[in-house]
Amino acid sequence: MSSTFQGNLLAQSYTIKVVSDTVITTGVNHISWESVEPRWSGDIIMADWNPSVQLKTVKANNELKGYQTTQHMMRSYEQIIREGKKVVAGINGDFYKTGGVPVHSQLIDGEILKLPVQRDAIAMDEEQRFYLGSFSYSGQLEILAPSTVLAIDGVNMAREADQLIVYNQYYGDSTQTNAYGHEVVLEQLDFRPINRPELFRVVELEDYEKGFIPDGHVVLSAHGVKLPYLQALTQGDSVYITHGLLQDQRPISEQPALVEFIGGSKVFLHDGQVDGNWPERHPRSALGFNSDTTKVYLFTVDGRQESSVGMSLTEMAEVMKYFGAAYAINLDGGGSTTLVANDKVLSSPSDPTGQRRVSNAVLLIKEQYPH
């Protein structure tokens, strides 16, 4: 790669200079880059995309609500990662609402935290293939005896009239529901990705106080027309739960088996085509891949600072294309923009207090082979 690149964007010329290109570990580089006019400075983690590399999503405090810095989430995950793997880098994730709840859905190891919204996202399947774009939800509970299929109305959210809601450990210790419904505690007998049925068994109902979500269990909560179906379940009964995140009209069984998912605002680079819809310049974060998916990019540009004014989505797309990206999704930016590698913050956060506590993050995990 040459040290400089001259481009022309909407009749404005600019020059990208690679300040440094450093090997972090085998197949993973940190690229520091800058531009004089416009004033830009940014960082990229560029990694070979192969079976030794994994993208992993994490949630602040391992709960639907909650904030942590990207660096803190990386450190926490480093404590539980299995031997032979290392958290090499991390970037802040989705936009978020009050309490640190992500705007979009999120999957962690195939477990769903909330329903999707009409914004773009990135998902990964078991083979680490990625899927970009919008997703819709379709969930169902299958009771084996008598044979019954009920639509699931929500995940980890307040239960409304005539609804069936699924709660898991990310919601907290309690469903916080009122007394007008009925709830059943389930233990999971197999673990399958999203878009595949998972087998559960009803546990002893009297062992748990109403609304309590035991560790490692799921709670079904029903009201109104769906309530009698849960009331008919007894200890030992088996049920299947299927959570679907769908990109098209194919049946759930034909959808990819997804294990990781995180939201953004827009896929602004698709097969090399630029589709930027955010003209204001801000600090920005993005996740991308090259055309043959042999490289993955964790990209940030600083902003709101004298040394860097930030970018529009179109500008970010053009610069990412120079570095080889053909696909990219915009993550939360502004003061949330943070890129960390080997426990060092590479980007220059725009908040005066430094790293902002955010809702979730994307980690780059790599197998560490003995020498």
SS (H, E, C) 330-348: ECCCHHHCCEEECCEECCC
Residue 240 shares a structural domain with residue 274: no
Residue 184 shares a structural domain with residue 238: yes
Of 248, 280, 300, the residue that ends a domain is: 248
Residue 270 shares a structural domain with residue 212: no
Of 189, 214, 248, the residue that ends a domain is: 248
Overall domain count for the chain: 2
pLDDT number for residue 107: 98
Instruction: Give the pTM.
Output: 0.95
- Could you tell me if residue 3 is inside a domain? no
Residue 146 shares a structural domain with residue 236: yes
- Could you tell me if residue 145 is inside a domain? yes
- Domain of 64, in residue numbers: 45-103+264-367
Residue 273 shares a structural domain with residue 242: no
Predicted confidence band of residue 277 (pLDDT cuts 50, 70, 90): confident
β-pair partners for 263:
121
Residue 142 shares a structural domain with residue 193: yes
- Could you tell me if residue 363 is inside a domain? yes
pLDDT number for residue 4: 64
Residue 221 shares a structural domain with residue 277: no
- Could you tell me if residue 149 is inside a domain? yes
- As given in the structure block, the two tokens for residue 249 are 């009209």
Residue 176 shares a structural domain with residue 238: yes
pLDDT number for residue 206: 66
- Could you tell me if residue 284 is inside a domain? yes
Predicted confidence band of residue 10 (pLDDT cuts 50, 70, 90): low
Report pLDDT digits (tens) over 207-235. Answer: 677 889 999 899 999 999 999 999 999 99
CA angle (25, 26, 28) in 5-degree steps = 65
Report pLDDT digits (tens) over 65-88. Answer: 999 999 999 999 999 988 889 999
Task: Report d(CA 318, CA 269) in Å as an integer.
Answer: 9
Report pLDDT digits (tens) over 146-169. Answer: 999 999 999 999 999 999 999 999
Residue 141 shares a structural domain with residue 241: yes
- As given in the structure block, the two tokens for residue 32 are 């520091």
Task: Report d(CA 220, CA 183) in Å as an integer.
Answer: 5
Residue 143 shares a structural domain with residue 231: yes
Residue 162 shares a structural domain with residue 225: yes
